[in-house]
Structures are given as structure tokens and as C-alpha cells.
Amino acid sequence: MFIGKGIASKLQARFNLKTNQPQSDSWRLNDYVQAVTDINDVVRAQRFVYDLTTPAGTGDRYGLIVPQRKRYSIHLVGVDGAATCLIDAISVSNGLNVALRFAYQTPASTLRYYLPHPLIMPSGWQIGAHVSTYSAGDLLIEYIYEEEDAE
């Protein structure tokens, strides 16, 4: 995509842009602006999925498991529990044990966390919530993520 001379001159006037005087013709600056786009941003699609579950008690409850030969970029984790099901953190597991917990809060029935940068999760990893208090009720875990093939 190219921007014509008319728009370029408006940009120069608006932002007080100046061109350098070339030392030779080989260093001549173009009189157009070329937009640069990461093609991955154009074709990437975010997905929304949720898992409704009934915890068996306190501890980590995972709802999203990355399938084999895939990689997920997690953007949001949201958890809604009954008033008798309190959440105090987001849990990530490598499939064998808890790899990390984040977004700690005072135990509450709701937790929403938008990650400032996507959390890249390889095949077999899981993400969910840490249930700190449970006596009854369901747990709804929501995710916004992007999926790509893992080579």
C-alpha cells in the first residue's frame, strides 16, 4: 500500500516533517509513505471459549488444555463462581505440576484478568483458577486466546 504525494504533503505539513538533502542520487528519499503491516495481525483471529465445571473442592481447577501440535496465546482469563466458590488466583500448569500463579486477589467469586502481553502456552499446558474456598456451586472459566500451529 502506498500513500500518494497529496497525502504525503499533508502529513509533512501536519507533523512538520522534513526530508534530508541527498548526498547523491543513490540516497534519494522516496516521496511516498509505505505502510508496514505484520501479515500475522491481519490473519490472526481471537477465540472465546468457556468451561462450566463443578469443583470437587479447593485447589487448582483447569478448564483449557492446549492440544498437541498447537500453541495458544492467552489474552484474558475470567472466572465466575458461586458465592460459595471463591477464587484467589489464576493457575497455569505444564501438565505435570503448577508452573505459575498470577493475578492474586482477596478470595472472591469473580476474577477477570487481561494480560498486558499474551501468555504463550505450548502443547499440553493448562490454565484455570485456584479455588481457595468451596462448599457448593459451579465455576465458569472464560478465555480469550489465539491458536497457532506449533512446528
Q: Which residues touch 35 (CB under 8 Å, ≥6 apart)? A: 1, 2, 3
Same structural domain, 24 and 52: no
Reply yes or no on whether the pLDDT at 119 is more than 90: yes
Question: Tell me: the pLDDT tens digits for 51-103?
Answer: 998 988 999 999 899 999 999 999 999 999 888 999 999 999 998 888 889 89
How many separate domains does the chain show? 2
The upper half-sphere exposure of residue 106, i.e. CA atoms within 13 Å in the direction of its Cβ, equals 0
Cα 11 to chain centroid, rounded? 33
Reply yes or no on whether the pLDDT at 142 is more than 90: yes
Q: What is the residue range of 101's domain? A: 43-149
Reply yes or no on whether the pLDDT at 1 is more than 60: no
In angstroms, the CA 111 to CA 141 distance is 9
Same structural domain, 90 and 64: yes
Same structural domain, 12 and 83: no
User: Residue 3: its pLDDT value, please?
Assistant: 65
Same structural domain, 102 and 143: yes
User: Residue 149: its pLDDT value, please?
Assistant: 87
Same structural domain, 88 and 19: no
List the CATH number of the domain containing 92. Answer: 2.60.120.20
Question: Tell me: the pLDDT tens digits for 122-140?
Answer: 999 999 999 999 999 899 9
User: Residue 46: its pLDDT value, please?
Assistant: 86
In angstroms, the CA 103 to CA 40 distance is 28
Same structural domain, 55 and 113: yes
Same structural domain, 18 and 48: no
Same structural domain, 48 and 30: no
Q: What average pLDDT is seen over the chain?
A: 84
Q: What is the pTM of this model?
A: 0.68
Same structural domain, 58 and 102: yes
Same structural domain, 7 and 70: no
Reply yes or no on whether the pLDDT at 24 is more than 60: no
User: Residue 98: its pLDDT value, please?
Assistant: 87
